Amino acid sequence: LYNQLHYLIMKLFLSLALISGVTAFTAPNTAVHQSTALFNGLGSGGMADTRDPDTVNNEDPRKSISAAPSFEEYLKQRAAEAGGAAAPAAAAAPVAAAAAPAAAAPSGGGDLVGTLSSLEGPGEVWGADGIAVGKEENDLRGYDNFGKFHAALQSTGVAAELGAGPYTIFAPTDPALESYELLRGPITAEIVKLHIVNGNIASADVPNAGELISLGGTPLVYRYAVRKHFVNDAILGEKTFGPYSDYPVDVACSNGVIHSVGLCFGFY
């Protein structure tokens, strides 16, 4: 009897040990809860959007979303603050630097073609390429100007077609046209006209300007995304890294206005 009882006890303990071992390798039955995020839609990259990227003004301040600066704007603000800390005696200087983005639009003075010949474009930094030549990544490398577009206006004969206007020119920088020439081919009159529309349209008025038709008759496509304004996928009023000048917009001329862009419209 004793042996039978001992056998039953041992069998019970072995069974309990086996059950414990199986339980240790079994995934727990975890309850799945729906996300409490306000926006659960999937973006184009498959990532879940957890907030609306646009500003929201709600009567309850806790539910409002203020306009956050872009990364480029943040770097400029930080550079302005650093400059103010380095020169406390010149208290007015940091204020002027911080207000620079809201400064008056540059004025070309002359006509569109003449202004493009000397207009200074955005300041570009060395980036990673500067390390090999002893430069800091944030050192100024130069300015992306508009010499190639100015030359193309004249060589294609489009400049001679421009009269009293007014016209709005979305002027691509030299690197933008170099990329197009490398990947697509020469800059033709059709490509040049693609960057010109009739009327004097300020950058702030582009979103509500209605249909934008180029001089060549091709409709341009405006869209607003990630807090930026795009025309044919080129950012309007693009910011640069570092404390250097941004892409100029609203450059007033005698027969129109110039907005610079960093992408040739021919790619669209």
The helix (H) or strand (E) run that includes residue 182 is helix 174-183
Residue 79's identity, in one-letter code, is: A
Q: pTM of the predicted model, to two decimals? A: 0.63
Q: For residue 67, what pLDDT is reported?
A: 61
Pairing of strands 256-261, 167-172: parallel
Which tens digits make up the pLDDT trace of 47-82?
444 444 566 677 766 666 666 556 556 556 656 666
Q: For residue 227, what pLDDT is reported?
A: 84
Q: For residue 121, what pLDDT is reported?
A: 84
Which tens digits make up the pLDDT trace of 19-37?
766 555 555 554 444 444 4
Q: Is the dihedral of CA 144, 149, 150, 151 positive or negative?
A: positive
Segments of the chain scoring below 50 in pLDDT = 30-52, 86-104
The encoded tokens of residue 108 equal: 């070309």
C-alpha to C-alpha distance for 230 and 221, rounded to whole angstroms: 8
Q: For residue 222, what pLDDT is reported?
A: 93
Q: For residue 194, what pLDDT is reported?
A: 95
Q: For residue 90, what pLDDT is reported?
A: 41
